[in-house]
Chains A and B, each alone.
Chain A
Amino acid sequence: MNKLISKLQKLSQQRPTMPKMTFLRKQLDSVEKHFVKGGKLERLHPLYDAIDTFLFVPGYKTENGPHVRDSIDLKRSMIFVVIALLPCLLFGIYNTGYQSNLLYDPNYSQNSLLTNILSNIWVGLITVLPIYIVTYSVGGLCEAVFSIVRKHEINEGFLVTGMLIPLTLPPDIPLWMVGVATVFGIVIGKEIFGGTGFNVFNPALVARAFLFFAYPAYMSGDKAWVVKPASYYPQGNVDYITQATPLGDLANTAYDGSSPYVSEVIGYSWSEMFLGLVPGSIGETSTLCVLIGALFLIVTGIGSWRTMLGCVIGMLFMTLTLNHIVGPLFVQENAFLFVAPHWHFVIGSFAFATVFMATDPVSSAHTDRGRYYYGFLIGFMGVLIRVLNPAYPEGMMLAVLFANGFAPLIDYYVVKANILRRQNRTAKSVNHSSVDSVEKKHEVITDPVEVN
């Protein structure tokens, strides 16, 4: 007995507390030979690499340059965006069920609270989960095919894109549309440019814009976005209900001489809009959840607070201009002109686009200074399109795509300013040194060099 105890003690001293997963590691090592160059499955190396590095931190050693490295990698960075999106996702699931039940369940007001909550979650799950399954399987397939053909690693960027696409969609969207949009977003939005890191536009928004322009009847943002799960309510006596979204309401309201009470027009109070129990795209309705995500992104340093700040300032600037200058003086038939900034903040996808779409590091401006201008442009254009363009009640998606296109130009001027600053600084430092040395330098330069 004593022997056994001492043996166990020895063993426990040898083994660290964390399981080492040596079995799994051995299995992976044993099949690795098939996937490396010259192996039978050489072409599938990206798949092996994806699984291998998913399970174990890569064992590469530093060669030169810094011999030690930060623990962060792209997987960690991307997974943190996914975590930041979780409040929106969970709330979106609940809200989808809630909106559906509210509209289609005749007994909703009589049911007990617990029954309602559970039923909301259930309806939300059976609506939202299929959308996610389609997005991740279709998108994952595209990603895998491209990485094998183009011989690059499977990139973690898709984790975020796949998370974002469903959240921007209305819950009643047909699944085939989700699939088509995902393919378009991944292939046209990202892979044809070379994959994550090379794309010009935000792939999730490219997918969303594709649906917007290809199937405008589903996507225009002014019609019912409430799902009716036929299987769940076979006895439901309502076939089809169109219910306007707040943005659609506002866009269709004429100006009657006095500033409108927004809450009367859209039928929801500001706090309800802020909390997000309103119809809309799956993940965009709750400004509160978006703000939780924003806080998370800013604290962890994954999302750029500069872009977010720029967006909010751009929105404030444009809204106040419309409220106080353009509205009263020029155009008066549109009530939307007089909607105050705090309403713009909670209506539609402003908050979501600001926090999760605009901050995509690849498609946004690449300089810190440029990020302010880039964000400003998004806030400015978003409100402009929302309010003054009758065809598109929601302008944020188009504004972000527009700014994506302008980001390189913004960077170009920021970098140019840096070049000018450098020229000024270095001109000063050359002037500091005395004339003598400058002359000597010229002597050296102009020395006749023997050629031939």
Chain B
Amino acid sequence: MSSYNLLKGHDIRLKGNPKKDIVDIPLSSHIAIHPAQYKGMKPKLLVKKGDSVKVGSPIFYDKTKESVKVVSTASGTVEDIVLGKRRIIEKVVIKVDGDESESLSIDKSEDFKDFLLNSGLWSYLRQRPFSKVPDPDIRPRAIFLSLHQTGPFSIDLEYLLKDSKKEIVDGLKLLSTLTDGNVFLTLKKGSDFLSDLDLDSNVNVNYFSGPHPSGNIGVHIHHLQPIANRDDLVYYLSLQDMISMVKTYNSGKYHFNKIVSCGGTGLDRPSYYKIRRGTLIRDIVGDIDSTIYRIISGDVLSGKTTSLDDSVNSFDEILSVIPEIKEREFVGWALPGLKKYSLSNTFVSSALGLQSSNLETGLNGSIRAIIPFGRWEKVLPMDIYPDFLVKSILAKDIDQMEKLGIYECDPEDFALCAFSCQSKIEVSSIIQSGLDFVELEG
């Protein structure tokens, strides 16, 4: 056990912080499953339009790793299959009808891994490097989980899971059968969440403190057991997903509920919402004018733009609704900036102590060449030189990328670099393109 006090980073203070009340959303008329969200999977559909499915019926499997499949979270009939560019399967829409479930026979003597593969819950796991659904044939070096969340509108997991401690203990024990190394659990520094728990000896508990991104799993891996090369795999998953696994494993019944934290000024009622996985965003937050507000599955730093007719990404626990940019400000660069949000001290607002801001989706400047004022380094609590890594990616220099630590990186860890950049460089996107490039060519 050790504790890490990270100083670099920044907590963005946004208006519309969710309240900690849990609003129950009843099972709605439709759910959507997005096969394209599962990175690393080549989906092959097992259903076609008009088929009836039950809770737990497989919807698609992975052509490259056939044992990995994703199952339906509701019962009903397949109403629509939406194809995107190059025939990517974007969405499978299921019209909900009743709540019938596939029978799940659990043999507790078999491996936990087999249970996950059979039940379709393997798809909750992801691996680093590349943040994709892992290949069950390769054992990971370690597994990482975090109770410490720092992103904007993130869930207070310690509050949420205070009654699920037993499942956490069980889950960590089960997960440790997947690896020969440790299961790392990270908490916020000073937390006594685990004080009365009897954890498996294989579980390695660590404490982190500091501003965002000190809660990112990539930062934890970097400080605890960094990734050496592309074959050095670790798994990670969300604690909510782990608890779903445990509940399903213990009861033999699928457990597809999860809590999503919904924040932002576009919402009437920013709060925690308890939903069935796959619930359409429209059914959670009601009607929102998407020309005025942007709906983001995930946090505002690393999430993806989505629409009311989609569901929250399977791996996301945050839904953000923030205003789109409305108008161009007159001589904005010269004004004192009483309400401008900035990490730099170049606006009067930083002297006045701006409490929270209703940030819009504007780029707030022109795109320029990389000028290293040192802003990226200030918000990256990792021993990585973002400037040089980005340049090696732009130069497609795989050797240099590997040396500079591309395998330790995930776009979400670099989101604040892109946020704070005065030249408006898309650091996160560049890191993603670098990862895609080394994955393919390295």
Q: Which residues of A contact B (CB under 8 A)?
A: 18-21, 24-25, 49, 53-62, 64-77, 79-80, 153, 155-157, 194-198, 299-302, 304, 361-362, 366-368, 371, 411, 414-415, 418-419, 421-422, 425-427, 429-430, 432-434, 436-437, 440-441, 444-445
Q: Which residues of B contact A (CB under 8 A)?
A: 12, 14, 137-142, 179-182, 224-229, 231-232, 294, 296, 300-305, 320, 322, 324-325, 327-334, 337, 340-347, 359-375, 377, 383-385, 387-388, 403-405, 411, 415-416, 418-424, 426-429
List 14 A-B residue pairs with CB atoms under 8 Å apart, sorted by A's residue number: A55-B331, A62-B361, A62-B362, A66-B418, A66-B419, A68-B322, A68-B360, A70-B419, A301-B346, A302-B373, A367-B385, A422-B383, A422-B404, A441-B231
Excluding A72-B347, A299-B345, A368-B374, 5 further A-B contacts by CB distance (< 8 Å) are A56-B330, A66-B302, A69-B424, A70-B420, A411-B388
* A405 CB to nearest B CB, Å: 17
Which one of B324, B404, B415 lies within 8 Å of A66 (CB-CB)? Answer: B415
Q: Which residues of the other chain, A, contact B403 by a CB distance below 8 angstroms?
A: 419, 422
Q: Are B226 and A73 in contact (CB under 8 A)?
A: no
Q: Which residues of the other chain, B, contact A70 by a CB distance below 8 angstroms?
A: 341-344, 364, 419-422
Which one of A194, A198, A430 lies within 8 Å of B228 (CB-CB)? Answer: A430
A362 CA to B374 CA in the complex, in Å?
11
Chain B residue nearest to A156 (CB atoms) is B368
Q: Are B365 and A65 in contact (CB under 8 A)?
A: no
**Which of A57, A60, A195, A302 has the most chain B CB atoms inside 10 A of its CB?**
A57
* A396 CB to nearest B CB, Å: 22
A441 CA to B345 CA in the complex, in Å?
49
Q: Are A418 and B226 in contact (CB under 8 A)?
A: no
Q: Are A74 and B371 in contact (CB under 8 A)?
A: yes
Q: Are A430 and B415 in contact (CB under 8 A)?
A: no
A441 CA to B231 CA in the complex, in Å?
7
Q: Which residues of the other chain, A, contact B224 by a CB distance below 8 angstroms?
A: 429
A422 CA to B424 CA in the complex, in Å?
28
Chain A residue nearest to B137 (CB atoms) is A444
A128 CA to B405 CA in the complex, in Å?
51
A49 CA to B327 CA in the complex, in Å?
17
Tell me whether A59 and B344 are in contact in the complex, defined as CB-CB below 8 angstroms, given that A68-B419, A70-B421, A361-B374 are known contacts: no
Q: Which residues of the other chain, B, contact A304 by a CB distance below 8 angstroms?
A: 373-374
Q: Are A61 and B324 in contact (CB under 8 A)?
A: yes
Q: Are A368 and B371 in contact (CB under 8 A)?
A: no
Q: Which residues of the other chain, A, contact B373 by a CB distance below 8 angstroms?
A: 77, 301-302, 304, 361
Q: Which residues of the other chain, B, contact A19 by a CB distance below 8 angstroms?
A: 330
* A80 CB to nearest B CB, Å: 6
Which one of B180, B304, B359 lies within 8 Å of A434 (CB-CB)? Answer: B180
Q: Are A68 and B300 in contact (CB under 8 A)?
A: yes
A356 CA to B108 CA in the complex, in Å?
70
Q: Which residues of the other chain, A, contact B181 by a CB distance below 8 angstroms?
A: 432-434, 437
Tell me whether A361 and B371 are in contact in the complex, defined as CB-CB below 8 angstroms, given that A426-B226, A430-B232 are known contacts: yes
Which one of B141, B320, B346 lies within 8 Å of A302 (CB-CB)? Answer: B346
Chain B residue nearest to A426 (CB atoms) is B228
User: Which 6 residue pairs spanning A and B have beta carbons closest together?
Assistant: A73-B365, A197-B369, A426-B228, A57-B332, A65-B428, A429-B225
Q: Are A77 and B422 in contact (CB under 8 A)?
A: yes
A299 CA to B345 CA in the complex, in Å?
7
Q: Which residues of the other chain, A, contact B405 by a CB distance below 8 angstroms?
A: 422
Q: Which residues of the other chain, B, contact A440 by a CB distance below 8 angstroms?
A: 138-139
Q: Are A196 and B363 in contact (CB under 8 A)?
A: no
Q: Which residues of the other chain, B, contact A197 by a CB distance below 8 angstroms?
A: 368-371, 423
* B199 CB to nearest A CB, Å: 18
Q: Are A71 and B340 in contact (CB under 8 A)?
A: yes
Q: Which residues of the other chain, B, contact A441 by a CB distance below 8 angstroms?
A: 138-139, 231-232
Q: Which residues of the other chain, B, contact A53 by a CB distance below 8 angstroms?
A: 366
Q: Which residues of the other chain, A, contact B337 by a CB distance below 8 angstroms?
A: 71
* A440 CB to nearest B CB, Å: 6
Q: Which residues of the other chain, A, contact B420 by a CB distance below 8 angstroms?
A: 70, 72
Q: Which residues of the other chain, B, contact A433 by a CB distance below 8 angstroms?
A: 141-142, 180-181
A42 CA to B340 CA in the complex, in Å?
34
Q: Which residues of the other chain, B, contact A76 by a CB distance below 8 angstroms?
A: 333, 344, 346, 365, 422
Q: Which residues of the other chain, B, contact A430 by a CB distance below 8 angstroms?
A: 141, 228, 232
Q: Are B231 and A419 in contact (CB under 8 A)?
A: no
Q: Which residues of the other chain, B, contact A444 by a CB distance below 8 angstroms?
A: 137-138, 231
A196 CA to B366 CA in the complex, in Å?
14
Q: Are A67 and B363 in contact (CB under 8 A)?
A: no
Q: Are A57 and B422 in contact (CB under 8 A)?
A: no
Which one of A79, A362, A421 lies within 8 Å of B383 (CB-CB)? Answer: A421
Q: Are A427 and B374 in contact (CB under 8 A)?
A: no
Q: Which residues of the other chain, A, contact B320 by a CB distance below 8 angstroms?
A: 67
A304 CA to B304 CA in the complex, in Å?
35
